[in-house]
Structure 1
Amino acid sequence: MSYPIALNEEARLAALYELELLDTPDEPVFDRVTRLVTQLLKVPMAKVSLIDAEREWLKSQVGVEAREMPRGVAFCAYTVMALEPLIIEDARQDPRFADNPMVTVPEGVRFYAGIPLCTSDGLVMGALCAMDTQPRVLSESELGALHDLAAIVTDEIRLRERLAQERKKAQAYQQALNKLHRSMENQIERRTNELNLVIESAYDAYISIDGQDMILDWNRAAELMFGWPRKAALARPITQLIFPDGLPIGNDSAAITFIARRCDGAELPVEIRVKTLMIDGRERRSLFIHDITERQQLERLHNQQAREDVLTRLPNRRAFDERLPEAMARTRRGKHPLAVLFMDLDGFKTINDTHGHAMGDEILRAIANRLASAVRETDYVARWAGDEFVLLLEGSDVGAIEYLANKFVQVVEEPVMVGNDAPLKVSASIGVALYFAASEETTNELLKRADVAMYNAKHIGKAQVHIARSADSDS
């Protein structure tokens, strides 16, 4: 099928490729938004769509099986043509989409709402979309909610845009610095004045030392970074000023991450590149030092966000997936059993439907806090998804596992007070799978047993615990 092409298509695609979002793994920041779209608008389908040259690729989707499709059948191919939302109340009545295979199939798309996702330059990368199999009219409040969620995705896209620009700047800076290194090898004697001018105006600290680690040169950036004036630094050992634990050992090809010290005693994480030269038979080393404080803070923040559930502040599914193999390995070494508890809240959907998602979020936070307080320091609790939690109990007596699981059921059943409203109450169904040192189960098999046990507990009735059969059981 044909589709419109934007006048700025070349620039739009160039910006899309610079973001490096196409064909990347799922990310919580996008998945949370698509889930919220389905919940707030009560639609079965939502997606974060990116429009490539000849295809639509989905960074996140709920209720949509295909990860990509031809651009010619994509509703979002029209959304990227403008900065305004595209609302289609009944696709069968719209001549652009009436014959679209996504519409003509049974249970096909009838309603579509797409909000363009733009870069800071106004180039449309794709859309945040809500879809339904029934015609519908979007209320002003629903459209406002969709706009707000699209703004979250847009902010993330623009953050990626800024990071891409910073990467380009860093690459350009590194290329310039490497060029400077090569120039120093061949022209250090002939171009001393020019080199000194470049070094003095460099963003990174430049320190030159001799074979005995005595400081020969110290640029303005070094003064600002470490607090020592140039005159106070010259002819002193570098270990006395900024490397009290000794000068890091490096080579001419790799950057070294190290801890330096300022004149006020404060520690400073730095990245060091060392270049060794022989001048008139004497060794001389040039140190180019970059302050990486901000970079490390950003890396720690991203690492935390990637492994923490935003709503409950518990470890998320990704963090749990990393923890479980480690716990299984400890069980094999220490011969102590491991219990995996898969918990699903009973009655939570009713609270969401009756009192709203904000109240449901408060319930989830309260339950998460209780579970975190109820486990031992050696145990682990994570939010799996929605109203599901997973617990790891290491080294517990096998005979006490069912008692402990029922204790968690009691913890969950305690009424939750939210503001001045009447207390609300949910219960929990828990499935338990035990893992022993001799077991040959994989992590997926162990989790599957716990998940099946949880569903068996639900079939028994609310607030129940079901212990899964042993993995080695033949019955």
Structure 2
Amino acid sequence: MSYPIPRDEKARLAALYELALLDTPNEPVFDRITRLAAKLLGVPVATVSLVDAERQWFKSCLGLDVQQMSREVAFCAYPVASSEPLVVENACNDWRFAQNPLVTQPQGIRFYAGIPLKNSHGLVLGTLCVADTRPRVLSTADFKALLDLADIVTDEIQLRERVTCEQKEKEASQRALSKLHHSLEAQIEQRTHELRLVIETAYDGYASLDAQNRVLDWNLAASTMFGWTRDEAVGKPVSTLMLPEGVPAAAESAPVTTQATRRDGGVLPVEIRCKSLALPNRQWRSLFLHDISERQQLERIRDQQAREDVLTKLANRRALDERLPEAMARARRLQKSLAVLFMDLDGFKRVNDTYGHGVGDELLREVAKRLSASARETDLVTRWAGDEFVLVLEGIEPVSVTPLAEKIIRNVEQPLVVGQATLAISTSIGVAMYMPNAPETAQELIKRADVAMYEAKRAGKAQVRVI
């Protein structure tokens, strides 16, 4: 077999390797997308694929027991080459794939849909794809949903691309500074003016310290970062200007992250590099301080996004997995009961089928708002998956749970107007009570609530069942 090669293959592969995603462990941000794609489209296989020189490697893979496959047989080679989405309704009728071993094998691929994943320069690095062992027709709504999910993956890839670029620029800057340090002792006298110019225009704050940690020199970036002019800083101990505990000893051997203080009393996160220099009659240290507040903000945002549902802004399943065991531990310590409510919307599929996924998404956002409004400040409201939600109610008495659940059902049943459509759905709720001395894990507790929810469904929907 053969496969098409993009005209920009060399640049495409260079960008792929620069991203450094190949052969890395699974990550929740990608696994959530494949799970959501499989559930939304009702397919057994969904992957986030990166197409290497001779292989297709899966960053996230649902429904396959392999981590990679030859590019010779990969369907994804075609959307990568064309830079356009590819939909194959029945691979047996497509001359490109009819003899492909992935098709001819028992229970082989029949349906395939792949969306290219591009970096910020438009180079295709891989695909978000779904597959099935039976032929099928991809609806317009499903195709748009797949495009939306691919956009989320693309945003994540491009974010990492920017972070990688920033890191490389930082490393290049540090290498330049390190080179400067090594040559400083031998050339200090004849290059004073040149060094002064470099330091004064540097992005990082710079301070030169004597043996008693008093400031000998102070650049413009340091003045901007900490609020002290050069004239005000020179001669003062560094502990009174920005580092109350002094210069960390470890900064001599590796960059050290710490909190510095500003003149106005504010706190600034910085990364410090320190180099000691000595001449026969003089000793001093060069101190470089890099403002990392933007980097830490980016890390906080990414950490928040990893625990937040993209659509509803509720806590997601990962957050629930982390916080439910903590809630159970508090229940045991305080000897108070806890309730887990597992909810599934009744009639949500009908809304999607009738009005499309855009209206369905708006409905899910509204349900999320109503659940948050119904919950107490101490309760945890999460989106489990699709149209399923889980509430964790701490310190609630068993007799209070059913009235609260019935109130939630009434709130969800209130009609919602989206455009010209008036939507009416309900919800079925399963409740599992956790008693402080029960030998039960968090997953077992959620499973019990899930079983109760299905009992509520079988009882006629818009019901509450407590087990």
TM tier relative to shorter chain:
0.7 to 0.9
Compared CA separation, residues 406 and 281, structure 1 to 2 (3 A): farther
Q: How does 1:129-278 map to 2 (within 5 A)?
A: 129-131=129-131, 133-134=134-135, 136=137, 150-183=150-183, 187=186, 193=192, 195-196=195-196, 198-243=198-243, 245-247=244-246, 249-251=248-250, 252-263=252-263, 266-277=266-277
List per-residue Cα deviations over 1:36-77 (Å, max 9, x = no partner). 6985x8877654322234432334456667554333321112
Equivalence for 1:472? none
Q: How does 1:407-446 map to 2 (within 5 A)?
A: 407-419=407-419, 421-422=421-422, 424-446=423-445
Q: How does 1:68-147 map to 2 (within 5 A)?
A: 68-105=68-105, 108-131=108-131, 133-134=134-135, 136=137
Equivalence for 2:462? 463
Residues 308, 315 of structure 2: 8 Å contact kept? yes
Residues 89, 110 of structure 2: 8 Å contact kept? yes
Compared CA separation, residues 323 and 170, structure 1 to 2 (3 A): same
Residues 429, 463 of structure 1: 8 Å contact kept? yes
- Secondary structure of the equivalent of 2:135? coil
Opposite residue 442 of structure 1, the aligned amino acid is T
Report deviation, 1:234: 1.5
Percent identity reads 56
Report deviation, 1:382: 0.8
Residues 208, 218 of structure 2: 8 Å contact kept? yes
- Secondary structure of the equivalent of 1:217? strand
- Secondary structure of the equivalent of 1:202? coil
In the alignment, does 2:378 pair up with 1:378? Answer: yes
Moved more, 26-35 or 109-118: 26-35
Report deviation, 1:451: 1.8
Report deviation, 1:31: 4.2
Uncovered stretches (5+) of structure 2, i.e. residues with no partner? none
- Secondary structure of the equivalent of 1:72? coil
Moved more, 146-155 or 252-261: 146-155
Residues 36, 386 of structure 2: 8 Å contact kept? no
Residues 206, 289 of structure 1: 8 Å contact kept? yes
Opposite residue 425 of structure 1, the aligned amino acid is A
Cα distance in 2 for partners of 1:379, 1:120 equals: 40
- TM-score when normalising by structure 1: 0.83
Cα distance in 2 for partners of 1:16, 1:312 equals: 32
Report deviation, 1:346: 1.3
List per-residue Cα deviations over 1:406-448 (Å, max 9, x = no partner). 33333323333435643x3222222222333333333222222
Compared CA separation, residues 370 and 452, structure 1 to 2 (3 A): same
List per-residue Cα deviations over 1:244-270 (Å, max 9, x = no partner). x55454432343433434456654332
- Secondary structure of the equivalent of 2:436? coil
Moved more, 61-70 or 366-375: 61-70
Opposite residue 434 of structure 1, the aligned amino acid is M
Equivalence for 1:397? 397
Compared CA separation, residues 67 and 455, structure 1 to 2 (3 A): farther
Opposite residue 19 of structure 1, the aligned amino acid is L
Moved more, 286-295 or 60-69: 60-69
Q: How does 1:34-45 map to 2 (within 5 A)?
A: 35=36, 39=40
Moved more, 88-97 or 386-395: 88-97
Residues 34, 60 of structure 1: 8 Å contact kept? no
Report deviation, 1:98: 0.8
Residues 378, 394 of structure 1: 8 Å contact kept? yes
Cα distance in 1 for partners of 2:137, 2:450 equals: 37
Opposite residue 461 of structure 1, the aligned amino acid is G
Equivalence for 2:388? 388
Residues 207, 219 of structure 2: 8 Å contact kept? yes
Cα distance in 2 for partners of 1:192, 1:293 equals: 33
- Secondary structure of the equivalent of 1:429? strand
Compared CA separation, residues 448 and 183, structure 1 to 2 (3 A): farther
Report deviation, 1:138: 8.0
Residues 272, 290 of structure 2: 8 Å contact kept? yes
Compared CA separation, residues 177 and 337, structure 1 to 2 (3 A): farther
CA-atom RMSD in angstroms:
3.5
Cα distance in 2 for partners of 1:330, 1:138 equals: 48
Compared CA separation, residues 338 and 240, structure 1 to 2 (3 A): same
Cα distance in 2 for partners of 1:333, 1:367 equals: 33
List per-residue Cα deviations over 1:54-111 (Å, max 9, x = no partner). 4323344566675543333211123333334445454223332112233235664334
- Secondary structure of the equivalent of 1:369? helix
Opposite residue 77 of structure 1, the aligned amino acid is A
Cα distance in 2 for partners of 1:275, 1:312 equals: 49
Cα distance in 2 for partners of 1:273, 1:234 equals: 20
Residues 205, 221 of structure 1: 8 Å contact kept? yes
Cα distance in 2 for partners of 1:349, 1:65 equals: 30
In the alignment, does 2:334 pair up with 1:334? Answer: yes
Moved more, 257-266 or 229-238: 257-266
Opposite residue 337 of structure 1, the aligned amino acid is S
Report deviation, 1:367: 1.6
Cα distance in 1 for partners of 2:79, 2:335 equals: 58
Equivalence for 2:56? 56
Moved more, 372-381 or 70-79: 70-79
Residues 37, 149 of structure 1: 8 Å contact kept? no
Compared CA separation, residues 347 and 331, structure 1 to 2 (3 A): same
Cα distance in 1 for partners of 2:87, 2:410 equals: 47
Report deviation, 1:119: 3.2
Opposite residue 393 of structure 2, the aligned amino acid is L
Report deviation, 1:211: 4.3
Cα distance in 2 for partners of 1:259, 1:63 equals: 47
Cα distance in 2 for partners of 1:416, 1:281 equals: 81
Cα distance in 1 for partners of 2:308, 2:138 equals: 37
List per-residue Cα deviations over 1:288-341 (Å, max 9, x = no partner). 111112112211221221111122111111111111121122223222222222
Residues 37, 146 of structure 2: 8 Å contact kept? no
Cα distance in 1 for partners of 2:67, 2:455 equals: 32
Equivalence for 1:17? 17
Compared CA separation, residues 313 and 118, structure 1 to 2 (3 A): closer
- TM-score when normalising by structure 2: 0.84
- Secondary structure of the equivalent of 1:302? helix
Equivalence for 1:291? 291
Cα distance in 2 for partners of 1:440, 1:43 equals: 37
